[in-house]
Amino acid sequence: MNKYKNQYHSLVSSSKWSTMVRKRSTTLTLFFIIFLSLISFGIFVPVFALLPSLSSHSLHHHQQQLLPATKKNHGYARKFEISDDKFWKDGQPFQIIGGDLHYFRVLPEYWEDRLLRAKALGLNTIQTYVPWNLHEPRAGTLDFEGIADLVSFLKLSQRLGILVMLRAGPYICAEWDLGGFPPWLLAINPAPRLRSSDPAFLQLVERWWGSLLPKVAPLLYGSGGPIIMVQIENEFGSYGDDKAYLHHLVSLARKHLGDEVILYTTDGGFRETLEKGTIRGDAVFSAVDFTTGDNPWPIFELQKEFNAPGKSPPLSSEFYTGWLTHWGEKNAQTSADFTAAALKNILERNGSAVLYMAHGGTNFGFYNGANTGSDESDYKPDLTSYDYDAPIRESGDVNNAKFKALRRVVEQYSSVSLPAVPSDNEKKAYGSIHVTKTGNLFELIRYFDVVKSDNPISMESTGQMFGFLLYVTEYTAKDNGGESIVSIPKVHDRAQVFISCPSEDGHGKPTYVGTLERWSNQPLTLPNTKCLSNISLLVLVENMGRLNYGPYIFDRKGILSPVSLDGRILRKWKMYLVPIINLNESPKINPIIRAANSGVITMSAHKRLKLKSGNASKEPAFYAGYFYISKEDIIKDTFISLSGWGKGIVTINNFNIGRFWPLKGPQCNLYVPAPVLQNGKNVVVIFELESPNPELVVQLVDQPDFTCGPRKLNVHQL
Which positions are annotated as active-site residues?
235, 318
H or E element, residue 4: none
- Beta strands 352-359 and 315-320, pairing class: parallel
CA 58 to each of CA 54, 426, 524, 631, 664: distance values in angstroms, whole numbers, following the listed order: 8, 19, 55, 21, 39
**Torsion sign (Cα): 456, 461, 466, 469:** negative
Give CA separation, 92 vs 76, 86, 87, 172, in Å.
9, 10, 8, 31
Answer whether 671's CB lies under 8 Å from 702's CB.
no
Helix segments in 45-149, DSSP class H: 57-62, 111-120, 132-135
Q: Is the CB of residue 363 less than 8 Å from the CB of residue 382?
A: yes
Query: Using an 8 Å Cβ cutoff, are 636 and 673 in contact?
Result: no
E-strand spans in 275-434? 285-289, 315-320, 352-359, 370-372, 379-381, 431-434
CA distance 412 to 218: 34
Among the listed residues 601, 668, 676, the one whose alpha carbon sits nearest the alpha carbon of residue 638: 676
No. of helices (H) and no. of strands (E), the chain: 17, 37
Longest CA–CA separation in the chain, Å: 93
Which of 251, 253, 247 has its CA nearest to residue 231? 253
Residues in the chain, overall count: 718
